């Protein structure tokens, strides 16, 4: 946690740099100050087969799901969502000049009782308490 999943129509790869977008969004997640570096996993899932709106070939979408652990306040969650959405919007701005693009984001919390995790990156990335 947190997981940021980007589902998108495959044609988006030719319209935007999605590797850069993953980096930009990871940076946005960390800039909120609410999440640890070692925990952030942003990834894109490209969909080759789809039917969007009136099915013009130029139609494209990016749909983001942000799954996070519990423990942030409503205000913090809203702030995180706004920050992520704004970063995506900025990166994809040229697409909004066309009448063919839809962007969306949903935040969903992970049930702490019914989730499990093990992360070998934290030990490397967490600040040592003291080097004495």
Give first-to-last CA distance, the chain, whole Å. 31
Cα distance between residue 132 and residue 125, in whole Å: 18
Which two tokens mark 50? 């789809």
**Residue among 97 and 127 whose Cβ is closer to a copy of itself:** 97
**Residue among 34 and 47 whose Cβ is closer to a copy of itself:** 47
Q: Output the 3-class SS for 20-47.
A: HHHHHHHHHHHHCCCCCHHHCEEEEEEE
Task: Tell which one of 31, 45, 71, 90 touches a copy of itself (CB under 8 A).
Answer: 45
Considering the rule CB under 8 A, would residue 94 count as an interface residue with a copy of itself?
Answer: no
Cα distance between residue 22 and residue 92, in whole Å: 12
Considering the rule CB under 8 A, would residue 79 count as an interface residue with a copy of itself?
Answer: no
Residues that bind a copy of itself (CB under 8 A): 1, 3, 5, 7, 9, 18-19, 22-23, 25-26, 37-55, 59, 61, 63, 67, 74, 77-78, 81-82, 85, 89, 95-108, 110-111, 113-121, 123-125
């Amino acid at each position: 946690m947190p997981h940021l999943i980007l589902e998108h129509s495959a044609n988006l790869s030719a319209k935007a740099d999605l590797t850069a977008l993953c980096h930009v969004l990871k940076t946005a997640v960390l800039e909120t100050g609410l999440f640890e570096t070692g925990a952030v996993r942003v990834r894109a899932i490209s969909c080759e087969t789809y039917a969007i709106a009136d099915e013009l070939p130029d139609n494209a979408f990016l749909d983001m799901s942000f799954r996070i652990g519990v423990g942030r306040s409503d205000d913090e969650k809203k702030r995180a969502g706004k920050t992520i959405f704004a970063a995506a919007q900025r990166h994809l701005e040229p697409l909004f000049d066309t009448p063919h693009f839809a962007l969306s984001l949903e935040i969903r919390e992970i049930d702490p009782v019914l989730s499990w995790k093990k992360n070998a990156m934290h030990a490397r990335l967490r600040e040592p308490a003291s080097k004495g």
